[in-house]
């Protein structure tokens, strides 16, 4: 009894010591988490703002459609463009602090199209291409890298209002840019100049078309076939199951990102970030699994689809296929320039950098885990296709087409610039890319005195 009585007397003291230890443990965990946050972002966690949390989320590499509102199918089939985004859809881009809204023609933009010049002081710039071009547009609208460079280095533009009109979407490849340009010109759209950013989709996604015996000139089978199958009610059980997992993953990611924003303590932020990273990885794996299932699906040639997709006219070897991809790319660029010249507009063409085309860039272990997957479905297309594009690029230059090879712009950048295993850049990467584009355009304009006269 004496022992029991003594133990009962000690219990409050034991509990007190345990509580004190737990408090100290919580403090140490919190301090450790705050130190980790500081080491990564060079910012005190407790003074961070929403923008910095958005940048942290951006490092997870979520593509544009993943951070959209709760939608199952974000794209809509378009009779001329192949597909567009659902009009009025709000989009939270991975590197942005604002919400962009999809306009009347299905592009994330601040204006409906055609945009009519409101006064002579406006300089209208159209941006065409795939997701990298779309991201460039959004980054430029928010940060005005090109606009500031134009105003600072070209006196004739110092007091002009720069208007950016995006006509780019994920997966677009030539001749989609060409067709969209001519369509919007037919509606009366004016441009001072157009920026076309492409190259990657033309070889990486066209190679997928080649593998599935779909004409290289058709839109990306990766984007178009799922829409065709939905429209034709042709989804199998495995595909429906995979889509259900992807939708569930996206909803989980949305929830986790919201809770991440609400974190008040560095420790809870750290735990939630780890959980969000795991969910993002799971999402990417399920996306690749869906592509694998769809790639193994046997199409019935006699099946009557509601959407007509042209098959390849003849069987060719892989080298011939890549040569034709480059030829199609070059012809489309020529025709874009010709269409714009008739409107007295300038044309600038850029080949985007990609991690699967080897340059002088050294990848850190951290970036390599984010950016490179061995035997990725896009790897062969880039490695065989980019050299073909470069040969065509040299021919385009002899025809006085302003085309720029941007594939080496990250070679001397030590920071991480890629955010996924496809092709997309984080905020630092977009800044470098936007700066290169701005400097290239300014350099061309300053070397051509006649060009400046249009803005006098």
DSSP notation for 3-22? HHHHHHHHHHHHHHHHHHHH
pLDDT over threshold 50, residue 61: no
Tokens of 211: 């593998």
pLDDT over threshold 90, residue 35: no
pLDDT over threshold 80, residue 72: no
**What are the structural domain ranges in the chain?**
61-216+315-455
pLDDT in tens, 395-441: 999 999 999 999 999 999 999 999 888 999 998 999 999 999 999 99
Q: Predicted confidence band at 167 (pLDDT cuts at 50, 70, 90)?
A: very high
Q: Predicted confidence band at 260 (pLDDT cuts at 50, 70, 90)?
A: low
Lowest mean pLDDT among 43-57, 343-357, 441-455: 43-57
**pLDDT (0 to 100) of residue 92:** 67
**pLDDT (0 to 100) of residue 419:** 87
Tokens of 387: 């050299």
Q: Predicted confidence band at 443 (pLDDT cuts at 50, 70, 90)?
A: very high
**pLDDT (0 to 100) of residue 67:** 38
pLDDT over threshold 90, residue 222: no
Burial class of residue 129 in the structure, from the number of CB atoms within 10 Å of its CB (0-12 exposed, 13-18 middle, 19+ buried)? buried
Give the Cα separation of 425 and 352 in Å (integer). Answer: 11
Query: What integer is the mean pLDDT of 324-344?
Result: 96
pLDDT in tens, 74-107: 778 888 998 899 888 887 666 666 788 999 999 9
Average pLDDT along the chain: 82
Nearest 5°: the CA angle 417, 418, 421 is 170
Q: Can you name the CATH fold of 61-216+315-455?
A: Rossmann fold (3.40.50)
Query: What integer is the mean pLDDT of 33-47?
Result: 65
**pLDDT (0 to 100) of residue 79:** 87
**pLDDT (0 to 100) of residue 226:** 73
Contacts of residue 352, Cβ cutoff 8 Å, sequence gap at least 6: 129, 132, 133, 197, 198, 199, 200, 406, 407, 423, 433
**pLDDT (0 to 100) of residue 141:** 94
**pLDDT (0 to 100) of residue 389:** 97
Q: Which residue has the higher pLDDT, 56 or 354?
A: 354
Question: Is the distance from CB of 132 to CB of 163 less than 8 angstroms?
Answer: no
pLDDT in tens, 275-323: 776 777 676 677 666 666 655 555 555 455 666 677 777 888 999 999 9
**pLDDT (0 to 100) of residue 32:** 67
pLDDT over threshold 70, residue 43: no
**pLDDT (0 to 100) of residue 448:** 85
Query: What integer is the mean pLDDT of 360-381?
Result: 91
Percent of the chain with pLDDT over 70: 70
Burial class of residue 87 in the structure, from the number of CB atoms within 10 Å of its CB (0-12 exposed, 13-18 middle, 19+ buried)? middle
Q: Predicted confidence band at 233 (pLDDT cuts at 50, 70, 90)?
A: low
**pLDDT (0 to 100) of residue 296:** 58
Tokens of 346: 């300038």
């Amino acid at each position: 009894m004496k022992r029991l009585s003594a133990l009962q007397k000690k219990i409050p003291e034991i509990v007190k010591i345990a509580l004190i230890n737990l408090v100290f443990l919580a403090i140490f965990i919190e301090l450790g988490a705050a130190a980790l946050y500081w080491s990564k972002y060079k910012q005190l966690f407790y003074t961070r703002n929403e923008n910095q949390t958005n940048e942290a989320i951006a490092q997870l590499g979520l593509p544009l459609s993943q951070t959209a509102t709760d939608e199952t199918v974000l794209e809509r089939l378009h009779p001329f463009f192949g597909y567009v985004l659902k009009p009025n859809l709000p989009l939270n881009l991975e590197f942005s602090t604002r919400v962009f809204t999809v306009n009347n023609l299905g592009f994330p933009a601040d204006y409906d199209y055609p945009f009519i010049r409101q006064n002579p002081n406006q300089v209208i710039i159209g941006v065409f291409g795939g997701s990298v071009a779309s991201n460039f547009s959004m980054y430029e609208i928010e940060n005005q890298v090109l606009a500031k460079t134009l105003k600072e280095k070209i006196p004739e533009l110092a007091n002009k209002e720069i208007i950016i009109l995006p006509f780019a979407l994920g997966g677009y490849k030539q001749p989609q840019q060409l067709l969209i340009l001519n369509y919007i010109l037919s509606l009366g759209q004016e441009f001072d100049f157009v920026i076309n950013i492409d190259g990657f989709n033309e070889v990486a996604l066209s190679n997928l078309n080649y593998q599935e015996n779909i004409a290289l000139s058709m839109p990306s089978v990766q984007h178009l076939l799922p829409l065709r199958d939905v429209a034709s009610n042709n989804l199998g059980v495995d595909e429906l199951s995979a889509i259900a997992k992807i939708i569930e993953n996206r909803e989980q990611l949305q929830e986790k990102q919201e809770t991440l924003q609400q974190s008040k303590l560095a420790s809870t932020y750290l735990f939630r970030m780890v959980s969000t990273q795991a969910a993002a990885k799971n999402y990417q794996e399920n996306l690749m699994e869906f592509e694998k299932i769809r790639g193994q699906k046997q199409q019935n040639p006699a099946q009557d689809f509601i959407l007509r997709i042209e098959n390849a006219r003849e069987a060719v070897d892989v080298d011939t296929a890549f040569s034709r991809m480059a030829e199609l790319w070059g012809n489309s660029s020529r025709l874009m320039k010709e269409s714009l010249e008739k409107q007295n507009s300038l044309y600038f063409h850029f080949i985007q950098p990609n991690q699967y085309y080897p340059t002088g860039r050294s990848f850190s272990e951290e970036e390599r885990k984010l950016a490179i997957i061995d035997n990725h479905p896009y790897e062969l297309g880039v490695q065989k296709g980019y050299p073909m594009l470069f040969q065509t690029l040299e021919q385009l230059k002899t025809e006085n087409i302003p085309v720029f090879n941007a594939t080496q712009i990250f070679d001397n950048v030590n920071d991480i610039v890629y955010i996924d295993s496809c092709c997309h850049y984080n905020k630092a990467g977009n800044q470098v890319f936007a700066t290169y584009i701005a400097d290239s355009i300014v350099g061309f304009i300053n070397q051509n005195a006649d060009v400046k006269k249009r803005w006098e």
